[in-house]
Structure 1
Amino acid sequence: MTITPAHPAKSDQWTDARLLYALEEVVEREINRHLKVAKDWMPHEYVPWSEGRNFDGIMGGEAWDQAQSKVTEIGRIALVVNLLTEDNLPSYHHEIATLFGRDGAWGTWVHRWTAEEGRHGIVMRDYLLTTRAVDPVKLEQFRMAHMSEGFESDNAHSMLHSVAYVAFQELATRISHRNTGHQSGDPMCDRMLARIATDENLHMVFYRNLLKAAFEIAPDATMSAVRDVVVQFRMPGHGMPGFERAAAQMAIGGIYNLRIHHDDVLQPVLRYLRVLEIDGLGPEGLKAQEELGLFMGGLDAEATKLDEKLEARRARIAARKAAAG
C-alpha cells in the first residue's frame, strides 16, 4: 500500500496544532458516522435492583460476605479492575480535552466520548453493589486511592501518540470486558459487560479511522507514534492498588494476557491499517516500521512461552485434582 502525504512535510513540521487542524474534517465525519450507529441505552435496565438490600452501617443492614455473590472469583477480580479503570474518567477527559481541545469537532467528540464512557462506571458499580459481588468498603477505598493518583499518559502528551494509544486501548478494554462477562458466572453480568463492550468497540473504530487518516497525511510521524505506543503499551489501570497481582490473576484466568494482547488487540488494528505494509516512508518512518515488526515478532514468541507455562500449570493442577479424587 503506497501512502502519499496530502501535505508533504517533514515529520518534525507536523506540530499538534497542524495535525488537529488537518484532521478536523475527519473527526467531524467520524462523529456523524458514530452517531448513526451508536445506540443510546439505559444503565438502570442492566441492574437487577430486586436483589438489592441494605448493607451494614448507618442503615443497619446486612454486612457483606463473599458467599452472597454468584460471581466467580476471577470475575470479581476482573470486575474490580475494570470498574476502577472506568472510575478514572475525569483524568482521561482532562488528558484528551487538553490535547484535542474543547472547540469544534474535536471538542464535540471529547464531550460525547466522555458522556458515553460515564455510563460504564455507573452501571458496573450499581450492578456490583446491588448483587453484592464485591466488598463495598474495599471498593470505595480502592476508588479513592486510584482516583487520588489520577492518570497521566505514558506518551509524552503528543496528539498522535494519544490517538494511537486509544485506538489500541479501547479494543483492549472491550476484550477485557467481554472475557470478564463470559467468565463471571452470571448471565446478567455477561449481558451488562457485552453492552459496555459494544460502546468500547465503536470508540475503537473512531480512533482507528482517525489513525488511518493520520497515516495518510503524516505517515512518518504516525508510524513513529504507533511504534512507541505498541512497544510501551500499558493499560490505564496500571496505577491502581494491587494491579500487578490482579493482572497476573487475570492473565492466568484467561481474561487478559500476552497472547490475547498480541492476537486480539495489537494485530487486528495493525492488520486493518496494514501498518507493516506501508511504503513510501522516509528514514524515520522506515526505522519505526522495522522496529515495530521486530517487536511484534518478539512479543509473539514471548506470548508462546507464556502459553506453554500456563498450559503446564493447568496440567499440574489437573494432575493434583486427579490424585486427590
Structure 2
Amino acid sequence: MSFPAGVATGIGSWPGTDPREAAAVIVGELVELPHLAELPARGIGADMIGRTGALLVDLPFDTTTRGYRIAAHRGAVSKRATDLLNRDLDALEEAWETAGLVDAQRHIKVQAAGPWTLAAEVELANGHKVLTDRGAVREFAESLGEGLVRHVTEVRRRLGASVVLQLDEPLLASVLAGTISGVTARERIPAIPAPDALVLLDAVIAQADVPVVVHDCSSAPPWELFRRSRADAVSFDLNLIDSADLDPIGELLDADKNLILGIVPTRPLTPAPTWRDCAAPAVKLVDRLGFPRSALGGRVSVSPACGLAGASESWARKALALCNDVARALVEEPEKL
C-alpha cells in the first residue's frame, strides 16, 4: 500500500474528553486521511505515553510523581489506559459506520510514541529511565512492535480500512545529543549513536508492515536519520524551519520520502489566517528547494503545526477545515498559488 499524498490530516491529539464527538468531527472533516483521536485532557493513560503504554505487550506500567514507570503487575493505570483506548476505538468505529465508510478501502491513521521517545520518558522499576539500559530499550521496542501489529490488525478489522502508522519521536534528537535528563536534573543520559538508533527505529517500522510516518514537531528534527530510515514520510512543524533545514528537507524528497507539513496554527491568530496564508509557506518551501510545484500535490500533505489538544473545539474544527482547503489547492492549482 502506498503512502497517501496530497491530503489533509491531523497530528493526533484533540481537545475535550468526548471520544464520540472527536471521532465524528475528525472523520467528517478529514475525508482522505482521518486519524484516531487522542484526548489527553482525560488525564492519566490518555496522553501520548499512556496511550502507547496501553499497546505494549507484557509490560504493565504505573505512574510516579515524574510520569510512568514499568510495574511488576497489571494494575489500575494499565487497565485505565487500555479502557480509554478501547473507548476511542469504539467511537471511531461508530463514526466510520455512520459515515458509510466500512470496507470502503479508505485510509485511517493511528499514532504511537516511537521507541526512543518512549524509552526517554518511561522509568524502570529502579527509577532510572529505560533509556539507560540498552537491554531494556530492546525489550521495549520488541513489545511496542508486537503491540503495534495487534493494534493495526484490530483497526483494520473494525473499519475495513488501510492503516497508516504515525510514530511520534519528539525526543529522538535529544536522545542522539545526550541531553535527556536522568534521575536528577543535572544528570544526563549518554547519547545513543545514530546508527544504533536507526536500527531500532527501523525494526519497529518493519514489524508494523504498513506505511509509516515519523513525526517530530521540535525545532531540530534528526533529518539525516529520518532520511535513512524505512519511514515512508516525515511530519514536522514548518513554522520552526529555518534556512539550515532546507538542504536536509530537499534530501528527504530526493530519497522519495513524502512530507506532512505542519502549517495551520494550533491556536487562533489575529487576524485569522486564510487558507492562502497557511499555504504560502509550503509553496515557498518547494520553490526554495527547486522542486516543481507539482510536488505539492504528489509528495506533500498538510496538517496542523502540532497536536490540537490545547486548542478550543471550535478552533480545532476550523484548523482541520483550513488543512482541507490548503491540501485541495496544492493538488488542484499549485501554479496559481
TM-score by length of 1: 0.29
TM-score by length of 2: 0.28
Greater Rg by CA: 1
Decide which structure has greater strand share. 2
Q: Which has the higher contact order (CA 8 A, sep 6+)?
A: 1
